[in-house]
């Protein structure tokens, strides 16, 4: 495999000194700009940005930060809950998504990843799914008109799992959205949290897959109480680790990607508590070795 490799600033969330997304008690030690400069030292091909970190910055500023690191922006990630309980709220969310798709285009990225749902407990799931599908279709049409692909990944995020957790869930949503501007991202580690074999997830989303996230998680060691963790639907607890340190068989995943001829970006991701600079550099070299072995 000779795929282009990218990283996302979210992989450093645990170390950011402001605007971090995952709650923690310990102080951060990296600025968002330092993260991009670090990525620029790794020899990767592009960078992916999370809107939450850059929403206060102008297009020009963000592009200059990335250009100074010699990194094009290939993807922009957004969180917009499309499941408003009234038509007015859903329209507001659709309008916000369209605005962020415009921002994605202005940044020069071709892909916009959306986390589109926070499940409401008092409304039938089928009704919420219908709202999400209709909203995604309208947003995908707007993105398509400006050259942007809108995409969802199989999500381990608990508030969205009931709609976009398994590979089949994602595939069926993509089929129902039924628009060339809406595609899927495969996250090999998210499958753990749905008690799904990652290869089964991959095979389900493959017909619509345009991007891949490689990350890994492990069960905490005996006596370990990690501050950063996520529980699976089965109740098992996982914490993030480097690519060769968890339960996902990364060499098997990479071999399968090579077998099916996947030629898109590979994002190297990390969601543990260690210094993300060390973890990401290690995982990058590991991924490169596995790619060489896959042919």
DSSP state of 9: G
Which DSSP symbol is given to 219? Answer: P
Task: Tell me what pLDDT residue 99 has.
Answer: 98
Under 8 Å between Cβ of 53 and 17: no
**pLDDT score, position 115:** 98
Bridge-based pairing of strands 230-231 and 237-241 is: antiparallel
Q: State residue 294's pLDDT score.
A: 79
| 8 A C-beta contact, residue 82 and residue 138 | no
d(CA 265, CA 211): 6
Q: What is the pLDDT of residue 210?
A: 98
The token duo for 69 is: 């690191």
Mean pLDDT, 10 residues at a time, over the chain (295 residues)? 96 95 92 98 98 98 98 98 97 98 98 97 96 98 98 96 97 98 98 97 98 98 94 96 98 97 97 97 97 85
Task: Assign a CATH topology to domain 5-293.
Answer: TIM Barrel (3.20.20)
Task: Give the pLDDT of residue 1.
Answer: 86
Instruction: Give residue-wise pLDDT tens across range 113-146.
Output: 999 999 999 999 999 999 999 999 999 999 999 9
Give the residue ranges of DSSP H helices in the chain.
32-40, 51-54, 59-68, 87-107, 125-145, 161-164, 167-177, 198-205, 250-260, 276-293
């Amino acid at each position: 495999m000779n795929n282009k490799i990218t990283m996302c600033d979210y992989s450093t969330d645990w170390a950011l000194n402001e605007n971090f997304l995952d709650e923690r008690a310990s102080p951060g030690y990296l600025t968002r700009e330092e993260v991009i400069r670090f990525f620029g030292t790794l020899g990767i091909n592009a960078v992916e940005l999370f809107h939450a970190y850059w929403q206060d910055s102008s297009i020009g500023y963000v592009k200059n930060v990335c250009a100074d690191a010699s990194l094009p922006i290939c993807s922009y990630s957004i969180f917009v809950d499309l499941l408003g309980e009234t038509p007015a709220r859903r329209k507001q969310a659709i309008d916000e998504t369209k605005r962020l798709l415009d921002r994605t285009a202005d940044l020069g990225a071709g892909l916009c990843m959306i986390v589109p749902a926070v499940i409401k407990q008092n409304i039938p799931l089928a009704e919420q799914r219908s709202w999400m599908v209709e909203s995604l279709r309208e947003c995908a049409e707007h993105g398509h008109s400006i050259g942007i692909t809108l995409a969802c990944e199989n999500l381990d995020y608990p508030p969205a799992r009931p709609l976009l957790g398994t590979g089949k869930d994602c595939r069926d949503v993509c089929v129902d959205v039924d628009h060339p501007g809406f595609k899927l991202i495969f996250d090999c580690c998210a499958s753990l949290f749905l008690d799904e074999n990652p290869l089964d997830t991959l095979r389900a989303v493959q017909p619509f897959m345009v991007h891949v996230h490689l990350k890994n998680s492990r069960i905490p060691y005996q006596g370990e109480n990690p501050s950063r963790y996520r529980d699976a639907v089965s109740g098992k607890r996982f914490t993030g680790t480097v690519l060769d340190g968890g339960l996902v068989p990364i060499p098997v995943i990479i071999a399968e990607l090579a077998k099916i001829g996947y030629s898109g970006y590979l994002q190297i991701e990390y969601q543990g508590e260690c210094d993300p600079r060390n973890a990401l550099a290690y995982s990058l070299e590991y991924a490169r070795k596995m790619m060489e072995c896959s042919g």
